[in-house]
């Protein structure tokens, strides 16, 4: 196993991690500020990808497609917040899970009704396709480097929004004491809709960015949603910083685990069995990581202490 391969795999892990972060950031904000478990977050990811594929198909412009993904997902998010989610804030988590699970089914079948059951085409634009050679002779796809950059920029922007702006102060205040900030004259309903729309837009962006290298199909959001939940549990619920660190940890563990565990087993097993056992264990690696973190810190890495 060469150093080059290891560096390339670390880049892959980072890229996977920052995309997970886009999903997890919205999820953790919504859970932290509103106390709501939103299973339909994966549907917003799918909506972003489908909006991007439709617009890219009609106009041929990837930038417009990304803009459409952001806008459509944000609007869809704001709409479901105002019609469905708003009724769930005071309710038990079980009601929230049931209602948002229903939303998954509605969005999946709605998308199938609109676009059909076959996957849609969304490709990387020409100016971002193909590999570039990094220092040290590593060949790496330019698009994946772009994803890392976009993810880091969004992360930075989100941090600035939360820490440096008035809306950010209100969001943080809402997390700590929602009655008090309502009493101080902040329109809490508008704030909640806004937070939900920001989370939705981030999920939509992730869906569109990832959709270009994967397949745009109904149900694409659910596997990512599960990982995003693992990320926010590891990072500590409600913490953007936690979501960032958690996402990178999960991305790296998943990618590197998939490579090194089979290699490790090959040291003392015959290759066929080693790949099978190694792969099986690698798919558990992030859950093992989650349990270890929870044993060490029951509220996650950056979660509020009870």
Partner 1 sequence: MKKLLMATAALALGATSTFAETKIGMITTLSGGGAGLGIDVRDGFMLAIEQSGRDDIEVVIEDDQRKPDIAVQLADKMVQSERVDILTGIIWSNLAMAVIPSVTAQGKFYLSPNAGPSALAGQGCHENYFNVAWQNDNLHEAAGAYANSAGYSNSFILAPNYPAGQDALTGYKRTFAGELAGEVYTQLGQTDYAAEIAQIRASGADSVFFFLPGGMGISFLKQYADSGVDLPVVGPAFSFDQGILQAVGDAALGVVNTSQWNKDIDNPTNAAFVESFQAEYGRLPSLYASQGFDTANLILSALDKAEVSDADAFREALRAADFDSTRGEFKFGPNHHPIQTIYAREVIKEGDVFTNKIIGTALENQADVYAADCKM
Question: Is position 281 an interface residue for partner 1 (rule: CB under 8 A)?
Answer: no
**Do 65 and 211 meet the contact criterion of CB atoms below 8 Å apart?**
no
What are the start-end ranges of the H helices in 84-92?
A: none
Considering Cα of 102, then 108, then 111, then 116, what sign does the dihedral take? Answer: negative
Nearer to partner 1, 177 or 263 (CB): 263
Given 161, 213, 264, 269, the residue binding partner 1 (CB under 8 A): 213
CA distance 36 to 29: 10
Residue 229 beta carbon to partner 1: minimum distance, rounded to whole angstroms: 16
Q: Which of these ranges, 78-86, 179-187, 199-207, 279-287, lies near partner 1 under the rule CB under 8 A?
A: 279-287
Residue with tokens 């977050």: 41
Over the window 50 to 89, marking each residue x when it contacts partner 1 by CB under 8 A and - when it does not, the resulting string is ----------------------------------------
Given 223, 288, 292, 304, the residue binding partner 1 (CB under 8 A): 223
Question: Is position 2 an interface residue for partner 1 (rule: CB under 8 A)?
Answer: yes
Tell me, rounded to whole angstroms, the distance of Cα 195 from its chain centroid: 15
Which positions ≥6 away from 129 have C-beta within 8 Å? 123, 141, 142, 143
Burial of 142 (0-12, 13-18, 19+ CB in 10 A): middle
Nearer to partner 1, 197 or 228 (CB): 228
Given 199, 236, 262, 300, the residue binding partner 1 (CB under 8 A): 262
Q: Which of these ranges, 90-98, 161-169, 206-214, 228-236, lies near partner 1 under the rule CB under 8 A?
A: 206-214
Question: Is position 143 an interface residue for partner 1 (rule: CB under 8 A)?
Answer: yes
């Amino acid at each position: 196993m060469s150093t080059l391969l290891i560096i390339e795999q670390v880049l892959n892990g980072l890229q996977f991690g920052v995309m997970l972060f886009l999903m997890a950031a919205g999820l953790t904000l919504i859970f932290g500020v509103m106390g709501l478990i939103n299973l339909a977050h994966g549907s917003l990811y799918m909506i972003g990808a489908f909006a991007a594929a439709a617009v890219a198909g009609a106009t041929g412009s990837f930038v417009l497609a990304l803009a459409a993904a952001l806008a459509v997902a944000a609007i869809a998010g704001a709409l479901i917040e105002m019609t469905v989610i708003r009724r769930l804030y005071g309710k038990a988590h079980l009601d929230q899970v049931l209602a948002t699970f229903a939303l998954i089914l509605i969005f999946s079948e709605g998308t199938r009704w609109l676009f059909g059951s076959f996957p849609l085409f969304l490709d990387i634009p020409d100016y971002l396709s193909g590999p570039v050679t990094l220092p040290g002779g590593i060949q790496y796809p330019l698009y994946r480097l772009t994803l890392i950059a976009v993810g880091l920029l969004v992360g930075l922007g989100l941090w600035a929004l939360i820490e440096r702006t008035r809306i950010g102060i209100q969001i943080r205040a809402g997390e700590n004491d929602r009655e008090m900030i309502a009493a101080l004259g902040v329109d809490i309903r508008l704030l909640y809709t806004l937070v939900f729309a920001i989370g939705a837009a981030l999920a939509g962006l992730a869906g569109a960015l990832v959709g270009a290298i994967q397949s745009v199909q109904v149900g694409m959001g659910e596997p990512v949603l599960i990982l995003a939940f693992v990320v926010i549990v590891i990072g500590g619920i409600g913490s953007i910083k936690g979501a960032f660190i958690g996402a990178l940890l999960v991305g790296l563990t998943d990618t590197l685990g998939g490579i090194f565990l089979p290699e490790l087993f090959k040291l003392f097993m015959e290759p066929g069995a080693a790949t099978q056992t190694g792969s099986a264990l690698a798919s558990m690696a992030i859950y093992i990581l989650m349990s270890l973190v929870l044993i060490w810190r029951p509220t996650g890495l950056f979660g509020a202490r009870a």
